[in-house]
């Protein structure tokens, strides 16, 4: 018996019968009850956390939900990821200022600055094009991010990613360059007129000394090319610059490159932590050696425990960055496993923080041309071949159809997958159009939010709106002097904009309705 028939048989034999009519009635009532119980949180956000699943479009979320549920022995379709339980949901329009389908640099800048910019640029207004040229870079065209504004208010700040810490998404929070690939000075070699524009790694260490936590990969951009794996041509070892600055300032700090050293860090006695665990990106979760590299969840845990010591609060940017990389190579299983680990990190965030004072926004920078199709049976292996296809719905070439696929990418040739292990970690789902790598998708992505002012994410928004919500929730940046705390207090009291008697009646009616619902559910 082949793998796919065995999988179908196991699903049939081991899963319970489908839900009954009463299940869906009870389920609907419970959702109504939760919706009625949801009350906008008008508190001032002491902490702000932006979590970006790079490339985590809606189809990726759906497939990861099913994949994670099936790993737990469930059908999968009815499973919920941690962030899918957040009470507020919206859609983000991801286009760049100059592109219909975006890249990760322009989208990340939009989210952390509140301003849409050109593809491939970091921290610069739309007047600066994406090019290997510095002629358009000026001080008045540099954008400030939520991270910058949080530092101005005395908050702690951190960046955690599974990519290089100089890669597009993390760099959007601190760097100002017209080309996202300028991660080290070697990447800028031979470009005239750029003497005043420093590379991204230099800007992170030398221009942003107050970032408390930096965790991820990308060590190559920080060390000299005379060292193993190093790229720098200026003779600097930015790791040593980072350590010397903190030592000379009498700060409590630690630099780590291994999991063993990372595990030894006590968050109570370290206020600054730099961890560069790989020369380039960190290892895919499916291949990660747990004794050598921390997981995204472990990095998030350490970062929050360090940052939350600041009584003024913190801002933390978290990126599950390798979802995107797996998709670019048509590696569906790896993309889903990265999404599952990202979801684990979300769960850790909710354990370590309170929705009373922490705004957590989970979203994607863009989508991918990743699809789920073919009418497979409920509970069928999400990584498998579509089962029970009617004759009139079979592919024209009569070969099996996979549930997961791409519309373009490096794996374009269809083959007969009947005897192929499509659940293998390195199996590539086919794309329709062969390309060096699969491309991003241009459709909207979801925004999931909980905490103070999360209800402001409520419909279809420009991606730049996310930055405004982050700032408004904590009265930062654009909203430092335009943040009506008195109005928030009135809204919390339930009578802002209306009279006390009317407000009281509304509250009483709401309570009575909830009581009736509770009685009906008993």
Report the pLDDT value the prediction gives residue 453, as an integer from 0 to 100.
Answer: 97
Report the pLDDT value the prediction gives residue 498, as an integer from 0 to 100.
Answer: 42
Report the pLDDT value the prediction gives residue 103, as an integer from 0 to 100.
Answer: 98
Report the pLDDT value the prediction gives residue 413, as an integer from 0 to 100.
Answer: 83
φ/ψ bin of 116: left (φ > 0), alpha (ψ from -120 to 50), beta (otherwise): beta
Report the C-alpha gap between 433 and 36 in whole angstroms: 47
Burial-class residue 243 by CB neighbours within 10 Å (0-12, 13-18, 19+).
middle
Report the C-alpha gap between 262 and 265 in whole angstroms: 6
pTM: 0.93
Quick one: which of 171, 274, 164 has its CA closest to 221? 164
Report the C-alpha gap between 408 and 382 in whole angstroms: 20
CA distance readout (Å), 484 to 43, 161, 191, 458, 475: 11, 34, 48, 20, 9
Q: Which residues sit in the known binding site?
A: 54, 167, 169, 319, 324, 328, 365-366, 440
Q: 40-369+439-479 is classed in which CATH architecture?
A: 3-Layer(aba) Sandwich (3.40)
Report the C-alpha gap between 199 and 187 in whole angstroms: 8
Q: Any alpha helices (H) in 288-430, and if so which ranges?
A: 296-307, 322-328, 332-352
The answer to whether residue 104 is catalytic is yes
Report the pLDDT value the prediction gives residue 513, as an integer from 0 to 100.
Answer: 54
The radius of gyration of the chain from alpha carbons, rounded to an integer in Å, stands at 24
Domain limits of the chain? 40-369+439-479, 485-521
* DSSP character string of 217-228: E-GGGTSBTTST
Query: What b/e readout covers 48-75, taking b as 16+ CB neighbours within 10 angstroms?
Result: bbbbbbbbbbbbbbbbbbbbbbbeeeeb
Exactly one of 59, 104, 184, 367 is catalytic; which is it?
104
Report the pLDDT value the prediction gives residue 502, as an integer from 0 to 100.
Answer: 44
* DSSP character string of 405-439: EEEEES-------TTS-TTSTT----EEEE-SSPP
CA distance readout (Å), 469 to 40, 153, 473, 474: 14, 17, 6, 9
Quick one: which of 411, 400, 402 has its CA closest to 433? 411
Report residues of the chain scoring pLDDT below 70. 1-16, 495-522
Report the C-alpha gap between 202 and 27 in whole angstroms: 53
Report the C-alpha gap between 262 and 294 in whole angstroms: 8
The tokens of 237 are what? 């070892």
Asked if 237 and 182 count as a contact pair (C-beta separation under 8 A), the reply is no
Q: Which residues sit in the known binding site for Mg(2+)?
A: 54, 167, 169, 319
Looking at the DSSP assignment, which residues form a beta bridge with residue 159? 214, 317
Distance of alpha carbon 402 from its chain centroid, rounded? Answer: 27
Q: Which long-range contacts (CB under 8 A, 24 or more apart) does 68-76 make?
A: 68/336, 68/340, 68/343, 70/379, 70/381, 70/382, 71/340, 73/14, 74/15, 75/15, 75/378, 75/379, 76/379, 76/382
């Amino acid at each position: 018996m082949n793998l796919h028939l065995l999988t179908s048989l196991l699903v049939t034999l081991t899963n319970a019968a489908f839900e009954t009519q009463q299940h869906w009635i009870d389920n609907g009532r419970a959702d109504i009850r939760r919706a009625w119980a949801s009350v906008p949180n008008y508190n001032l956000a002491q902490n702000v956390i932006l979590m970006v699943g790079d490339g985590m479009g809606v189809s990726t979320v759906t497939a990861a939900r099913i994949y994670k549920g099936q790993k737990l022995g469930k059908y999968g379709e009815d499973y919920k990821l941690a962030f899918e339980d957040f009470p507020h949901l919206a859609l983000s329009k991801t286009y760049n200022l100059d592109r219909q389908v975006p890249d990760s640099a322009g989208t990340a800048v939009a989210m952390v600055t509140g301003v849409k910019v050109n593809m491939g640029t970091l921290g610069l207004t739309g007047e600066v094009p994406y090019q290997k040229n510095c002629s358009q870079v000026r001080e008045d065209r540099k954008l400030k991010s939520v991270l910058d504004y949080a530092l101005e208010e005395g908050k702690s700040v951190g960046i955690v990613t599974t990519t290089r810490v100089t890669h597009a998404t993390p760099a959007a929070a601190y760097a100002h360059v017209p080309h996202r690939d300028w991660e080290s000075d070697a990447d800028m070699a031979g470009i005239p007129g750029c003497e005043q524009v420093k590379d991204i790694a230099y800007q992170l260490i030398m221009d942003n000394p107050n970032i408390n936590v930096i965790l991820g990969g990308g060590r190559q951009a920080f060390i000299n090319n005379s060292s193993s794996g190093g790229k720098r041509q200026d003779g600097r070892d930015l790791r040593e610059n980072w350590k010397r600055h903190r030592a000379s300032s009498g700060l409590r700090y630690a630099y780590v490159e291994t999991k063993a050293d990372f595990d030894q860090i006590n968050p109570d006695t370290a206020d600054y932590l730099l961890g560069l665990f790989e020369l380039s990106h960190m290892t895919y979760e499916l291949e990660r050696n747990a004794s050598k590299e921390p997981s995204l969840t472990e990095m998030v845990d350490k970062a929050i425990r360090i940052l939350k010591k600041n009584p003024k609060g913190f801002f933390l940017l978290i990126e599950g960055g390798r979802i995107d990389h797996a998709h670019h190579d048509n590696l569906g299983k790896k993309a889903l496993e990265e999404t599952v680990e990202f979801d684990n990190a979300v769960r850790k965030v909710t354990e370590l923080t309170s929705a009373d004072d922490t705004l957590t926004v989970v979203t994607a920078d863009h989508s991918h041309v990743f699809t789920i199709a073919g009418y497979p049976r409920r509970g069928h292996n999400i990584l498998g071949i579509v089962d029970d296809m009617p004759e009139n719905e079979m592919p024209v070439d009569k070969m099996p159809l996979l549930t997961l696929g791409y519309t373009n990418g490096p794996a374009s040739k269809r083959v007969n997958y009947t005897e192929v292990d499509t659940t293998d970690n390195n199996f590539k789902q086919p794309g329709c159009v062969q390309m060096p790598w699969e491309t991003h998708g241009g459709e909207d992505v979801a925004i999931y939010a909980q905490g103070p002012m999360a209800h402001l994410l409520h419909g279809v928004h420009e991606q730049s709106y996310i930055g405004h919500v982050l700032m408004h929730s904590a009265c930062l940046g654009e909203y430092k002097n335009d943040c009506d705390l008195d109005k928030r207090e009135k809204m919390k009291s339930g009578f802002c904009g209306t009279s006390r008697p009317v407000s009281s009646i509304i509250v009483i009616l709401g309570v009575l309705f909830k009581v009736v619902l509770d009685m009906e559910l008993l």
